[in-house]
Structures are given as structure tokens and as C-alpha cells.
Structure 1
Amino acid sequence: MNASEYIIGGLAAMGATTFTNPIDVVKTRIQLQGELAARGTYVVPYKGILHGMVTVVRNDGWMGLQKGLVPTMYFQFIVNGVRLGIHTSAVNMGWTRNKNGEESFGLNLFWGAAGGAMGAYFSSPFFMIKTQLQSRASKQVAVGYQHEHTGMLSALRTVYRQGGISGLWRGSTASIARASIGSGAQLATFGPIKSFLRENNLIVQPALNSLCGGFIAGCCVTVAMTPADVMMTRIYNQGLDANGKGLLYNGWLDCFMKTARAEGLYGLYKGFWANYVRLVPHSALVLFFFDELMMLKNRLGITY
């Protein structure tokens, strides 16, 4: 295994996050508004992506659009460094090819999901912190449980004080499910899409081929991952009782069932368009930056 592949994967994700974090803030709040309430029975402070961004700026200032950016950077570096590094190592070792030597959709799906699960587990504390920071808003537009964190270090201290080391990994099962679905769908479709575009002379220029492949793969990811993303946001953001138990959910399955009963399919796909607008360019940029950095590494002859 090559360590540089893991580092490059992390750096590619950090580059993409700089552009997409504002949409992630809006997405998080849309997923939390009307939590466990029937549609039409609650106030909707965030009525869509653009309205949500304007609402954030009006109430929290321009910097409100970059809430949770620091823990998001840590999360993205770890989860994408691990998942892209593992998948690239699997490709280089021939583990994604079938007996005929052809790239296998199933094997790419497996290694993409395995890398996503591992990356999600190790990065879980930072996703929880970024969710809690992104949801924190002015009283008039606040949604979901409001945590009193002032920053990433403040949040880490509070979470550790409440639940110790295990508290930092509260909800990691939901994180693993989300990342496995998303990473598997992305990496299983990215390569075949690029090959299809190239082999049919549709888009052959390397950088543009990677960018378009990433956009199409991102569409697949959004459809597959949004319900798991809603569950993860809500589990990580919920408050805790005196015993450290969640006030609303006992786990991701409990969250799924309660959301489905109270809000229906709409609730499971709440924030879909914000997720789409964030994930598609994020997916494209991550894979584009990854391909470009890998080519730079090869040109420089970096082997470690």
C-alpha cells in the first residue's frame, strides 16, 4: 500500500470542501427542521437552498455559511483519505478485476464500501461535531437540538466530558452505513462511467473526463445515500439525557422507523436537493482533484 494515495485522497476532499461547505450547512438545517413532525405542521425557516443560504446570512452573517468548516475538513481528510486510498490500493493490486481481467462492478462496490466504512468509523467524531456546529443558529431560525459549543475544541471537550471516549463515537454505526452506501455507489460507478465516455469518444480529455465522471457518479450517490444521511444528521445532533442516552433515538434503525412513521418518504429524503447540489460538485471535485494529484505524483516520481 502507498501512503501517498491516502494523503492525496484526503487533500482532494479538503479542496472540494472549501467550495461545498455552505450548502452542507443549509442541508443539515433542512434535514433537522420539522423533525418527527407531520408535513405542514411546523414552521419552515429554510425553504430551499437559495432561501436557506439567505436566511443563514441574514441571521448568522456571512461566516454562518462556513459553520463547522474546521471539523468538516478533518472529517473529509480522514474519510476520503482512507476510502480512496483503500480503493486505489485494491485497484493497483488487481483486487477489483474478475477472472477475465476486467474491472468488476461488484468488486469495486465492495472495496469502495469497505473503504468508506473504515474511513467513516475513524472520522465519526468530527462528523458529529460538524453537524452540531452547523445546526447551531440564531433563536429565530434554530432547528433541531441546539448545542452550546463555541468551536471544535469546545465541542470535543463537552462530548468527552459527557460520554468519555465512547461518547465521541456515538452514532458511528449510522456513519458507517452512510459512508458504505455512498462510497460504494460512487467508486463502483466512477471508473465505468469514465471508461464509457472515453471508449465512445464522448469525452476523452483526461481532466474533463474525470470531472464529468464525477458529476454522474455523484447523482448515483445522492439517490442512494440521502436517507442514511438524514438518519446520521439527526442521531448526531440529538441531545442526551442525564444517563448519556439520546433524547429521541436509540440508534439508526430506531431513527429510520420513527422518521418514516412521522414524516413518510418525504422525511427520509428531506434535504435531497441540497444534498444533490452539494454532493454532485463535491463528488466531481474530489475525484477530479484526486486524479490530478495522482498524475502530479506520478510525474514527480513519488513512490512512498
Structure 2
Amino acid sequence: MDFVLGGVAACGACLFTNPLEVVKTRMQLQGELKNRGTYQVYYRNVFHAFYTIGKVDGLAGLQKGLVPGLFYQFFMNGVRLGSYAIIESADYIHTNGRVSAVKTIIAGAAAGVVGAVMGSPVYLDSWLVALSAGMMSSLVVVLAMTPFDVVSTRLYNQPVNHLGKGQLYNGFTDCFSKTLKKEGLTGLYKGLGASYFRLGPHTILSLFFWDELRKLHQKLR
């Protein structure tokens, strides 16, 4: 049941934070494989992108990809939170009756990696993304994760090449190197602001909904 409750909680959070996921994706794909200054900038920053997408595509445009996002969140965070609950109930995170910060971090990281691996087929089969997702907790980690997220987004949404056939990228390493070569280091950090603004609310809402659902489940048992 913990897996289901965790998945439902994450889906609830996704309903509120998916617009930032849309913004992040649009910004990451903007000016793909083009030198800086050679393409039209439609989204100047997170807030401008949010406003522009809402104005042009309407409110529905800000919730594009919601259905696969819900599936991804349900499987990834359902397994992540459910796994953590099992570890917690097994009393692993305690030492001499007290919560151990080190064990809690290890348990959270392990549960996060398991959840990301389970959810990655819906998003992208990259162990680097799975590892990054399992370790998400601060701005420092967001900075480390963003380049992999940019590459993952581009691989997942990659168009055909300039000849109208084939694909632009031949795997993760090829996409990473091409992006770095054409767009520089800043190209690997597109959508950073949206990722950071999304992380906090999504984490807080997921844990809040999860805690409330667990309390409700205990009352109904």
C-alpha cells in the first residue's frame, strides 16, 4: 500500500508542478545545436517562458505531457517512497533508538535510485539520470543533474537530421558532446531555473500529500 500512497502523492504534486516541467523542456530545446546569438529567443527566462506559453498555447499548453508525467511520477515516486517506507519500517534508519542522519541519507538515496530506475522507461533509459534523480535534494545537486537532464530531454525529443532522415544524436555521449561543442557550457544548463523552481514545490507537496494519505490510511484500517 505504501507504493500506491507514494505514487498518488507524487501525482498530486505533479498536477501543480507540471507547468514548470513544460517550461523546462521548452527552454532546453530552444536553440538546439545552434550557436548562441544565431537563433530567435522565444523564452528569455522562466517567468517569461511561463507567460509566453500560457499566452500562446493557453492554460492547456502549460499542462502538456501531464498524462505521461503522472505515469512517470506514480511509478518512480511510488517505488521511491514505498521503498523508503519499507526501509523505515524495518528500523534500518535508527541507531540505538534514535534516527541516524547518515542512515536516513543512505536510505533516501537508495530508494531514489530504485524509483528512478523503475520510472526511467517512461522518461528515458539513462542510468545517469536515474542516479541524479536518486540524489536530488539541493541546488548543488540540481547543478550537477541539469546537463544530464538537458541531454535526456533532447534524446527523448530529438528531431531528424538536416537531410530529413535518421536522428541527430547517436546516444547519450554523442548528444552531450554535440551540445557542448555547438552551444557551449551554457547550453547544458538550459532550463536550470525551471528545474530549481520545480524541485522545491514538488518535493514539499509530494511529502505533504504522502504524509496525509498515510495518516488517512491508518485511520481507515
Using the size of structure 2 for normalisation, the TM-score is 0.85
Choose which of 114, 118, 134 in structure 2 pairs with 1:118. Answer: 114
Count of residues paired in the alignment: 218
Three-state SS of the structure 2 residue aligned to 1:238 is: coil
Identical pairs, percent? 47
- Residue 178 of structure 2: aligned partner: 258
Q: Within 1, Cα distance between the matches of 2:210 and 2:21?
A: 21
Name the CA shift for 1:66/1:112 in 2 (closer, same or farther; >3 Å).
Answer: same
Q: Are the aligned partners of 2:79 and 2:111 in contact in 1 as well (CA < 8 Å)?
A: yes
Shift of 1:99: 8.7
Three-state SS of the structure 1 residue aligned to 2:41 is: coil
For 1:66-118, what per-residue CA distance to the aligned partner results, in whole angstroms no more than 9, with x for missing partners?
1111111111111100111112212222334569965253x444443443333
Q: Within 1, Cα distance between the matches of 2:101 and 2:54?
A: 46
Letter in 2 for 1:179: A
Choose which of 76, 100, 103 in structure 1 pairs with 2:100. Answer: 103
Unpaired segments ≥5 residues, structure 1: 128-170, 187-216
Q: Within 1, Cα distance between the matches of 2:24 and 2:219?
A: 39
Q: Within 2, Cα distance between the matches of 1:117 and 1:246?
A: 32
Letter in 2 for 1:39: R
Q: Within 1, Cα distance between the matches of 2:212 and 2:135?
A: 21
Q: Are the aligned partners of 2:113 and 2:135 in contact in 1 as well (CA < 8 Å)?
A: no
Larger RCO, structure (CA 8 Å, separation 6 or more): 2
Unpaired segments ≥5 residues, structure 2: none
Q: Within 2, Cα distance between the matches of 1:225 and 1:104?
A: 23
Q: Within 1, Cα distance between the matches of 2:94 and 2:141?
A: 22
Q: Are the aligned partners of 1:260 and 1:268 in contact in 2 as well (CA < 8 Å)?
A: yes
Q: Within 2, Cα distance between the matches of 1:267 and 1:283?
A: 26
For 1:202-248, what per-residue CA distance to the aligned partner results, in whole angstroms no more than 9, with x for missing partners?
xxxxxxxxxxxxxxx5x45533422221121111111368xxx9722
Deviates more, 1:275-284 or 1:249-258: 249-258
Shift of 1:45: 0.9
Name the CA shift for 1:13/1:102 in 2 (closer, same or farther; >3 Å).
Answer: closer
Using the size of structure 1 for normalisation, the TM-score is 0.64
For 1:189-213, what per-residue CA distance to the aligned partner results, in whole angstroms no more than 9, with x for missing partners?
xxxxxxxxxxxxxxxxxxxxxxxxx
Q: Within 1, Cα distance between the matches of 2:80 and 2:166?
A: 29
Letter in 2 for 1:274: A
Please, what is the CA RMSD of the aligned residues?
2.6
